Structure 1
């Protein structure tokens, strides 16, 4: 951009000097027009003049070139959006606002199209790891080992409490939790028999409150559907043990806030005594990620809470080293709770593959909520279908735009270009005029010759 702008600025100086001497620098006009056209292909530009001698180029409403002066543009990374580069004006450090052009198209692809696809892959990865780990830990390997994650965990927080330092000042300022599961097994079709409301905060950068009411005539299934349909950044489902599970989704505003539960509050008893998620109800018992130490607001055991993964979890999916070194630790056998201690403490036996089947079923059919899709299969299928639709629409839009560009270019050339037919007609006209003039001069010569030489004067 700056190279093209500098070339236009230099031409402006030369053109002004030549015009001041009374000449028309047509070749320089053409060169400047070509440079402006090249600039217009990159960004949305418009042309103006403060007076007849000062040529100005605008990007949006901001002056880029004014006669012999140029406003520099520079690139800088945005720390709030993973260091993605943006364009800024050097004179005031404000962001360059683009509305069209090749650069704006690339920025939109980066910030919206590709970002959505990256979020989808990350969501698939984090839900895959969490689902498999939560089931695998309850099973037993052939060697008798249990409580082992199948996938390695790499979390934002470097502690078991989920406390995390977001701005790098050395002080933890949030609690980053991806999933929490209740202690109690529930029947999703049973009437609740209690009243209350759940308060959530959207992960949209504005902490928009979302209220989920429930009444004594509601079933748990109805409340879960209400939560999921609210698009509040939290999804609800029952796990393999019919325990209520709440998980975070991607952020609507900043990828650095992906997979962080923002706020959980219950005025009644659904998330407290009934499901065993929160310790107490009301504002005082609410979990809020904007404070540290909030993991203590949960009744759940540590193994029933998943801390938020490090940024872009799809980039660090890795099988646990303990399993790689000894495949006998793969927990294919299902455990059982002996003694009523709410823990799978005894294996079913070496020939039992129930845990492996349970993991397979969870990844294929179970309603575990991956983002706002019910199952992994639905999530994957909807993603592929949407990609196909977007590709088709993009091709159609390109074809339409190319047709319009061709039409506009033809109109442009008809106005500014040279018509061969018109030029040929003019050449014939000029030739006939020249021939007529030549005949006129020849006739005058003959008349003078007669008058002077033949009349004997």
Structure 2
């Protein structure tokens, strides 16, 4: 080859190298850009032993797949830990805040009771007790609302993240198709864009990436399910309301024809959000709910055993807090006509009927009738009697017991023509709302009625029917109870609550989730309207107790120091355990978040040390390639001079 052609090849190679170097400099601050290099190769000619110049073999990215994969892994881990810490930090601050602390509320409540012991008949002290009880209930409600709002926010963020992840999945699949179609001449920028899209995807979920021989990437969930195939096919992600807990979301993989639910942690921010919902918030809700249920139940039980200022004992107005299982006592009886004090309680929850309401009708000076009123307004006789005094000891019907309270003359008497509406809805009651239906093949209604609040755990439970047997499994430790499914029709008691079925007997395959304490903190309410109804005194068979009697008040005050939670902890200690649990998780999450950020920075630095543009190095390359270009240009000049000299010889 002539000297001119050799110099020309060198000139073009140097020009290409200068162009690539300039391209590197221009993209020094472009996110995800990998520096490129020209790979020259000597052209040995056609076997005549002479050099024929230089060829640019290819232009390639400078990358290390292992270091890039480390960045993807570190990105998923860091994103997960940062999101977890952000949510935990907020929850920890609220639980520890003096303005929302349950500990402060409990102290204030029992402090007012203690103050009232000096003068139990003081209306002012009694009113302060009601006010502190109301504020305590509001603290429970506020914390429960914050936990629920965190769950809703985590769900919305997960849905948004999945939408963005699906966009990235589709984009990666498109890059794959273009890269495979381009073969060996695929632009480095396209490869960078694909790597950058995978890095962004790794923020949302944990992934594994395998490079194929044709240049395509197969992208998998960290549990092994395929997301993107090298040929351009891909699956998408999704969420749906969990069948086991409507407040939570299930993670889905959608292949276009079917959706598969995955219980394993998907990693990244999405995995952190869903895990925070199901693990942290569920336990915090259950622990807070347990404390509120025990408080309301034990206070109400204690007050029911005493006498109020009028001498009433166990009357509907004697309950300070709403009933933990059913409609609040004071709302169960509505006088249409009449002024008697009536109360209604549950004697057999399996016999309860879903009716619009009942009516007690006094039809003569001695006779009464109880009618059931359906949703259409039709009336049917349930039971009747010929002695009104029966109502003073209690009349039972359809699982209920109706009692006329005559402990005090203030209670009024039953008169001919009186009508009282009896409200006792089943649907929507706390007992019914503690059950989540996964599979219910019949018209069965499962209820969870708390009968010994002091034995409650913080666990949810799975109820499953198979082979004519029921199995109830405690989720926290796997402890289970089994028996004939028909036993549930009359009620089965475990861990301080009773599981009972109304309607048809459960069928094989039916599944339910039982949540005895989940909604406790959200439902607690102070319902007493009259401070005179506080039953601070002991029951006096002779009538109203003496004004200074604080016998039952002392029992109420003793609840503060009694180990009411499974015989191991006081109410205060129960809440402190919740605060401690969240505090430990928050401190751990903070350390893990800081560590994950450091690991990501190190992984990124390691990758950038190979792939990122070094401006000092590029400056040296510019000088080197410019010198090469000038030298090759000089060779062309020499070649031209030689040619001119040759022409001058003729």
- TM-score category (smaller protein): 0.5 to 0.7
Give 1:12 shift.
Answer: 2.5
In 1, distance between residues paired with 2:232 and 2:545? Answer: 84
Give 1:440 shift.
Answer: 4.4
In 2, distance between residues paired with 1:372 and 1:7? Answer: 58
Where does residue 356 of structure 1 map in the other structure?
A: 553
In 2, distance between residues paired with 1:161 and 1:108? Answer: 39
- 1:5–1:128 CA distance, 2 compared to 1 (3 A): same
5 Å-filtered alignment, 1:147-162, equals 147=314, 148-155=318-325, 160-162=347-349
- Report Cα offsets for 1:313-367 as digits up to 9, x if no partner: 21111122xx21x22112222336x6xxxxxx966422223323322331x2112
5 Å-filtered alignment, 1:227-306, equals 247-251=455-459, 253=461, 291-294=488-491
In 1, distance between residues paired with 2:519 and 2:297? Answer: 14
Where does residue 47 of structure 1 map in the other structure?
A: 209
In 2, distance between residues paired with 1:399 and 1:296? Answer: 47
1:65 to 216, 221, 228: 228
- For the 8 Å contact 1:156–1:311, the answer to whether it is kept is no
- Report Cα offsets for 1:406-454 as digits up to 9, x if no partner: 101111112222222322222222233234334445556666677877x
1:38 to 195, 200, 221: 200
Where does residue 131 of structure 1 map in the other structure?
A: 298
- Report Cα offsets for 1:15-58 as digits up to 9, x if no partner: 33333xx6423332222222111111111112225542543211
- Report Cα offsets for 1:205-231 as digits up to 9, x if no partner: xxxxxxxxxxxxxxxxxxxxxxxxxxx
- 1:28–1:353 CA distance, 2 compared to 1 (3 A): same
Where does residue 417 of structure 1 map in the other structure?
A: 612
- 1:311–1:392 CA distance, 2 compared to 1 (3 A): closer
- For the 8 Å contact 1:5–1:65, the answer to whether it is kept is yes
Q: Report the number of matched residues.
A: 340
In 1, distance between residues paired with 2:246 and 2:463? Answer: 8
Where does residue 597 of structure 2 map in the other structure?
A: 402
Moved more, 409-418 or 351-360: 351-360
Matched, 1:105 2:278: no
Give 1:402 shift.
Answer: 0.9
In 1, distance between residues paired with 2:326 and 2:309? Answer: 33
In 1, distance between residues paired with 2:463 and 2:274? Answer: 16
- 1:421–1:160 CA distance, 2 compared to 1 (3 A): farther
- For the 8 Å contact 1:152–1:317, the answer to whether it is kept is yes
Runs of at least 5 residues in structure 2 that lack an aligned partner in the other structure: 1-164, 328-344, 351-430, 465-471, 474-482, 495-514
Q: Whose relative contact order is higher, 1 or 2, with alpha carbons under 8 Å and at least 6 apart?
A: 2
1:314 to 509, 513, 521: 521
Matched, 1:385 2:598: no
SS of match in other structure, 2:219: strand
Matched, 1:376 2:568: no
SS of match in other structure, 1:357: helix
- 1:156–1:311 CA distance, 2 compared to 1 (3 A): farther
